[in-house]
Amino acid sequence: MRNNGIGSWPARRARMGPERIAIVHEGRTLSYGELEQRVQQLAHALRSLGVRSGDRVAYLGHNHPSLLETLFAAGILGAVFVPLNTRLAVPELAYILDDSSSSVLVHGPEHAEAARELSERTVIRDRVAVAGGSEGVPGYEDLIANSSSERIDEPVGLEDVCMIMYTSGTTGRPKGAVLTHGNITFNCVNVLIEVDLTADEVTLVSAPMFHTAALNMTCLPTVLKGGRVVITKGFDPEETIDLFTSQRITWMFGVPAMFNALAASPRWEEADVSSLRVLEAGGAPVPESTIETYQKRGLTFLQGYGMTETAPGALFLGAADSVRKSGSAGKSSFFTNVRVVDEDGHDTEPGQPGEIVVAGPNVMRGYWGRPDSTAASFTNDGWFKTGDVATVDEEGYVYVVDRVKDMIISGGENIYPAEVENVLYDHPGVAEVAVIGVPDEKWGETGRAVVVPRQGVEVTAQELIEHCSGRLARYKIPKSVHFADALPRNASGKLLKTQLRQSHGS
């Protein structure tokens, strides 16, 4: 094969075991042989729409096998895949489509109206409807059925661009992280090494696949190893418990909010978790109380650290250290280098906070069309600056403290919200909590806790403030507490502190 990129993976898997099940979705199964045939046919269909090497193909829809097939088909042609966040409004989606100059939009049935509007106001030339179709809008299955299955073998190298993943855009306009086939391949190899994936892996993918963790940390590594991917439209705690039993799930990724919701189910304590081998969390700091909940059931609960720009893995805490180093994000992934540095770029001493910087073959090429932003995100010697604060212990394990921009400076002292949040999570009346900085005449800033109370438990602001006394230095204790029904999050589960400051910061 001349194609060494992601698009060649179905064909490579099919020649090793065409009968093995690749995808399970709503009762339908696809073998690797069938998957390979479908993506070849889809590649021919995209080519008939004018897609060529380097062109951008966008996808808008909930988790579905067509998302994965579109990624592979684009990769076969050397085209670039652009997954879109389904929770964005049409003007936000339009910005991304125009910024990436995407020529084709593949969309799910729930987004047909948005796709129609986007085709009228953006550079999109063609759109494809996953379900159905209409005059001028071909149906996805019709395109596949009427296309050749002859293998396309375009030369695609690891250095070529595979996908543009747009950052969540919690502040300002989203930026497109340019990820090469090599970035994603090396990330997947890191995962295979760290998680010890087997060919019999049954991976539940319920976190949104337009997010880098669900797609690049769980789905694609499973395909690379030849395991089975169980795709659900989205995350539902009760459905997840059912799938543990019916599909014998072995591996699952989720953000902390997902794992908290799962453990809050009245069925959790009696759920059959005997097939589960690994539970992996990321996307946000994981409260130690969450980790303990799963460890009590005898489950291996792992966590790591990464971001879209690192494809996404950077740090990983292996199973052997999951209890001993609970709360740590671990050490550098195998093909990745991570340091924690001070303002002068020197490695920090153990226990001293600094910024995480990353280098390695999984780190993005840069931001699409933004040379200034790209240059500002890297040090002069090529380390990517994450904007995250961490400490390193005497053994080299990294503990992520918080975002640089989320740090609160009160009376000249630095307060890292995640540290305060961890203490508040220990209170039985707290279901969710986020700490933000609010203006203070005397101290400049003080902390404010925004708390979602646990259902059926009464708790007061004063009680929570007193709970922190003796557990935190006085300057770290929130000076005020607001209660809320829910915390704002984006589609990947990350807390939107910008929105939280707007609603609770005054």
Q: Is the pLDDT of residue 196 over 80?
A: yes
Q: Is the pLDDT of residue 414 over 80?
A: no
Instruction: Give the tokens for residue 211.
Output: 């997010």
Q: pLDDT value at position 67?
A: 98
Per residue in 456-484, pLDDT (tens digit) is 999 999 999 999 988 887 889 999 999 99
Residue 109, classed as helix, strand or coil, is helix
Q: pLDDT value at position 91?
A: 87
Exposure string (b/e) for 245-257, b if CB count within 10 Å is 16 or more?
Answer: eeeebbbbbbbbb
Q: pLDDT value at position 491?
A: 63
Per residue in 293-330, pLDDT (tens digit) is 888 899 988 888 999 999 999 999 988 888 888 879 99
Q: pLDDT value at position 184?
A: 98
Phi then psi for 401, rounded to 5 degrees? -95, -55
Q: Is the pLDDT of residue 218 over 90?
A: yes
Q: How much is the pTM?
A: 0.84
Work out the average pLDDT over 204-209: 95
pLDDT > 90 in the chain, percent: 75
Q: pLDDT value at position 64?
A: 98
Q: Is the pLDDT of residue 168 over 70?
A: no
Reference 322, options 292, 338, 300; nearest CA is: 300
Given pLDDT bands bounded at 50, 70 and 90, which one contains residue 171? very low
* 307, 272 Cβ separation under 8 angstroms: no
Q: How far, in Å, are 162, 197, 339 from residue 4 at the CA level?
A: 11, 22, 31
Taking the C-alpha atoms of residue 360 and residue 393, their distance in angstroms, rounded to an integer, is 22
Q: pLDDT value at position 30?
A: 98
Q: Is the pLDDT of residue 100 over 50?
A: yes
Q: pLDDT value at position 285?
A: 62
Given pLDDT bands bounded at 50, 70 and 90, which one contains residue 173? confident
Taking the C-alpha atoms of residue 306 and residue 63, their distance in angstroms, rounded to an integer, is 22
Phi then psi for 386, rounded to 5 degrees? -80, -25
Average pLDDT taken over every residue of the chain: 92
Taking the C-alpha atoms of residue 486 and residue 345, their distance in angstroms, rounded to an integer, is 39
Taking the C-alpha atoms of residue 105 and residue 122, their distance in angstroms, rounded to an integer, is 11
Q: pLDDT value at position 495?
A: 84
Ranked by mean pLDDT, the top range of 68-72, 262-266, 397-401 is 68-72
Q: Is the pLDDT of residue 284 over 80?
A: no
Q: pLDDT value at position 21?
A: 98
Q: Is the pLDDT of residue 170 over 60?
A: no
Q: pLDDT value at position 229?
A: 98
Provide the 8-state DSSP code for 173: S
- What is the SS3 assignment for 398-428? EEEEEEHHHCEEECCEEECHHHHHHHHHCCC
Taking the C-alpha atoms of residue 211 and residue 60, their distance in angstroms, rounded to an integer, is 12
Taking the C-alpha atoms of residue 63 and residue 227, their distance in angstroms, rounded to an integer, is 18
Q: Is the pLDDT of residue 169 over 70?
A: no
Q: pLDDT value at position 440?
A: 83
The domains found in the chain, sorted by start residue, are 6-11+32-157 (3.40.50.980), 183-404 (3.40.50.12780), 407-504 (3.30.300.30)
Instruction: Give the tokens for residue 155.
Output: 């030369």
pLDDT > 70 in the chain, percent: 98
